[in-house]
Amino acid sequence: MTQENTASPASRLIDKYGRHVNYVRLSITDRCDFRCTYCMAEEMTFLPREAVMSLEESLRVAAAFVGMGVNKLRITGGEPLVRKNVMWLIERLGALPGLDNLVLTTNGSQLDRFAEPLKAAGVKRINISLDTLRPERFTAITRIGDLDKVIRGIDAAQAAGFRRTKLNAVMMRGVNDDEFVNLVRFAVDRELDISFIEEMPLGEIHGRSNTYISSEETRALLAPHFDLQATDESTGGPARYWRIPGKTSRIGFISPHSHNFCDTCNRVRVTAKGELYPCLGQNDALNLLPLLRDGADEGALRQAMMDSMGIKPFGHDFSQQMDSPQVVRFMSMTGG
């Protein structure tokens, strides 16, 4: 049962621009069973185990945030479902009073076995990344993944009773732009939501500017096929949604370039090694790991979280950075 978050107004996270942070994206691993071309380099060096927060440390961080008014937590990575004993953490997060909205982003590869336990643990919604419906292309984009397994994962999520499951597709010119119409049809047929994401310059990967497509261009591409109606619906994240009359699916666009959403930003990110990033598109961070490991009490941990509000910048600007990123962390490091 959901319990209201009772954090006192004085302990809430408000940044210097008056934005209330009530949403945390918590990365629990930098590792992944895929190597998506836009997210990782082909050869990745992952963190040594001791540099990664233990599950107990992740739980402590999450609980401290919830004590400060955070009511939405997204578990992410890397691929969160490859983290050993991940259900130990998720079951405890699901039982945290005041956390109304425990959600997960996954590549779907492990969902066939995890969908039911995730539902039982209280996960409310799942986002599944899916950039293509063509098996060979899927293996090329992920460098290793198997599309069938992900489709089985999507089926398992629906069979487990997850509603409003959302597909996330990164838009890439010359890579998957010929499939946007089919991806929407797939979502509509299965009563899934789908969001198209503008590719962000996170990590040194050459040639991003050649593949970048704006949300507007994709909407124009979809327009002859679907009667897209703009809505003011929100799921508490950065997506803006369109609907097709008579269908349940929402068609979302996450547009960090073309429709910068910083003015309403309500979130911060914690990496697998315990760095608190107040902004995905900037390099300022506050390291929580020493506090967690040096015996700091709850008060010190909360104070550090409060201090991070002072370094939350007004926003980011990705526009001039596609081939020479200002942020050298890959998305798999910071957590999507």
244 binds ligand SAM (CB under 6 A): no
Q: How far apart are CA 231 and CA 254, in angstroms?
A: 14
Cβ-based neighbour number of residue 283 at 10 Å: 11
Tokens representing 333? 């490091």
Q: Considering Cα of 41, then 54, then 146, then 180, what sign does the dihedral take? A: negative
Nearer to ligand SF4, 69 or 252 (CB): 252
Query: Residue 162: what residue type?
Result: F
Residues numbered 70-99 forming contacts with ligand SAM, rule: CB under 6 A: 76-77, 79
249 binds ligand SAM (CB under 6 A): no
What is the per-residue DSSP string for 186-213? HHHHTT-EEEEEE---BS--TTHHHH--
Report CA 206 to chain centroid distance, whole Å: 23
Residues numbered 183-212 forming contacts with ligand SAM, rule: CB under 6 A: 197, 199-200, 202
129 binds ligand SAM (CB under 6 A): yes
- From the list 8-16, 28-36, 54-62, 288-296, the region that binds ligand SF4 by CB under 6 A is 28-36
Q: Considering Cα of 305, then 29, then 124, then 90, what sign does the dihedral take? A: negative
Rounded to a whole number of angstroms, the CA Rg of the chain reads 19
In the bound state, the residue with its beta carbon closest to ligand SAM is 336
Nearer to ligand SAM, 68 or 197 (CB): 197
CB 58 within 8 A of CB 289: no
Nearer to ligand SF4, 32 or 115 (CB): 32
Partner interacting with residue 76 (select from ligand SF4, ligand SAM, none; CB below 5-8 Å by kind)? ligand SAM
Q: Which residues are near ligand SAM by CB under 6 A?
A: 32, 38-39, 76-77, 79, 105-107, 129, 168, 170, 197, 199-200, 202, 331-332, 336
Which residue ranges make up the site for ligand SF4 (CB under 6 A)? 32, 34-36, 39-40, 77-79, 107, 129, 331-332
